[in-house]
Structure 1
Amino acid sequence: MSLRLTLLCLLLPLAALASPSPVPPAMPEPAGETAPPPAPRVLLVTTLGEITLELDAAAAPRTVENFLAYARDGHYNGTIFHRVVPGLLVQAGGFTPDLQAKPTRAPVPNEAGNGLSNLRGTIAAARDRGVSDSATMQFFINLADNPAFDRKDETGPYTSGYAVFGRVVQGLDVVDRIAAVPTGSQGPFNGWVPTTPVLIERVQLLEPSTP
């Protein structure tokens, strides 16, 4: 074997070791967290102005869907704010101007204790004071911070709380205007019914708000 061929045979293993290793395929980057769904928004057109609500379906999914179902069916159109307590709340959703109760669906579970507190400008599900899972069509908007309406840790007939499921994002001045109307006793209601009805003329579902 010639010297040249011998050297070539000796160099071949070295050349193989010196050759670059194959590059492994790039690993896909981990996917980011899924963005929360857009928050439903609802417009209440009242005789005293417009109120825009943003609903929190992540914190109160059953309560929000219940409210939206009534809204889609036109249930709230033509109902009144039948309970106005200055410094506390304005309540609506269940009665016609002549105080006739509208039909309801089955009640939904009480989602109080979901991390949302009854603060000024929040909307919460009204219910029977003594029955936790009794919310249907009625709702109220808090005129002030009302921590007494939040769920309590202790047990008792009035500790279940009232489920907050959204907030007013526009028209809080309209809510205050409703709170300022004169009230009196009518029908089964003592003292808190506006003497001039405050009507919800229509409820309109808006484009959701992107987080």
Structure 2
Amino acid sequence: MDRKSWFYGLLTVVVLACGCSEKTNKAQADKKIVNLERNIVKSQSNVVKLETSMGNIVIELNEQAAPVTVKNFLEYLTEGFYDGTIFHRVIPGFMIQGGGFTNKLVRKETRDPIINEARGGLSNERGSLAMARTNDPDSATSQFFINHTDNEFLNYVNSDQAGYAVFGKVTEGMDVVDTIASVKTSTQKGMDDVPVEPVIIISAKVVPE
């Protein structure tokens, strides 16, 4: 259920409790609900900044298209989970992936996986932010990737080609993404495409409105 539906549902309860025939009470209820909605929307920005060892990347999250994914990402972010993690998989002309390992290539423990929201209507185009996962469509936890080029083949097609859920887009710092994508990589601890010099996410924070 989206925010608007929730607020309208709450408004209905308020109006029924007060009596639909009383226009004054309804007007007051409308005003209270509008104010409540305004306060809640303002309390959470959907713009985040990744401060990396190679520069800053600003991303706007799309809660309407991927509400579960955005909520999950913000929960990890606000608890400081991403601070000190690295972009551990870098493939130029494809994507840069991070959000799961320390600079010692130690995997961080995560919460339970979330559902795949690849059907949200957003495309894996250059600069888009998407969730990484295993072959199981509903296996995404904390890891994400930024598309370095248009990767439409990663979009949802059907249940057999479930796609990768896009939930945001880089609004500032694509030059930083390009720089990260150009670093030298190697195989380390059995993992391919790992930057030789760690690309660290120093901090990941919500940008206040």
For residue 102 of structure 2, give the secondary structure of its aligned residue in structure 1: coil
State yes or no: 1:131 paired with 2:139: no
Percentage of pairs with the same residue? 48
Q: Partner residue of 2:162? A: 160
Q: Partner residue of 2:178? A: 176
Mapped to 1, the partners of 2:185 and 2:123 lie a distance apart of: 27
Deviation at 1:72, TM superposition (A): 0.5
- Structure with the bigger percentage of helix: 2
- State the one-letter code of the partner of 2:69: T
Mapped to 2, the partners of 1:53 and 1:144 lie a distance apart of: 16
Of 59, 84, 94, the residue aligned with 2:65 is 59
Mapped to 2, the partners of 1:64 and 1:114 lie a distance apart of: 12
Mapped to 2, the partners of 1:93 and 1:83 lie a distance apart of: 10
Paired residues, number: 172
Mapped to 2, the partners of 1:51 and 1:109 lie a distance apart of: 26
State yes or no: 1:145 paired with 2:147: no
State yes or no: 1:122 paired with 2:123: no
Mapped to 1, the partners of 2:49 and 2:176 lie a distance apart of: 12
Instruction: Give 4+ residue runs of structure 1 displaced > 6 Å after superposition.
Output: none
For residue 101 of structure 2, give the secondary structure of its aligned residue in structure 1: coil
Mapped to 1, the partners of 2:147 and 2:104 lie a distance apart of: 24
TM-score by length of 1: 0.78
For residue 187 of structure 2, give the secondary structure of its aligned residue in structure 1: strand
Mapped to 2, the partners of 1:64 and 1:178 lie a distance apart of: 24
For residue 97 of structure 2, give the secondary structure of its aligned residue in structure 1: strand
Mapped to 2, the partners of 1:73 and 1:187 lie a distance apart of: 28
State yes or no: 1:198 paired with 2:199: yes
Mapped to 1, the partners of 2:200 and 2:163 lie a distance apart of: 27
State yes or no: 1:71 paired with 2:77: yes
Deviation at 1:188, TM superposition (A): 2.3
Root-mean-square deviation over aligned CA pairs: 1.8
The structure with the larger Rg is 1
List runs of 5+ in structure 1 lacking aligned partners. 1-27
State yes or no: 1:98 paired with 2:104: yes
TM-score by length of 2: 0.78
- State the one-letter code of the partner of 1:189: M
Deviation at 1:207, TM superposition (A): 2.0
Mapped to 2, the partners of 1:92 and 1:76 lie a distance apart of: 9
For residue 118 of structure 2, give the secondary structure of its aligned residue in structure 1: coil
- State the one-letter code of the partner of 1:139: F
Q: Partner residue of 1:112? A: 118
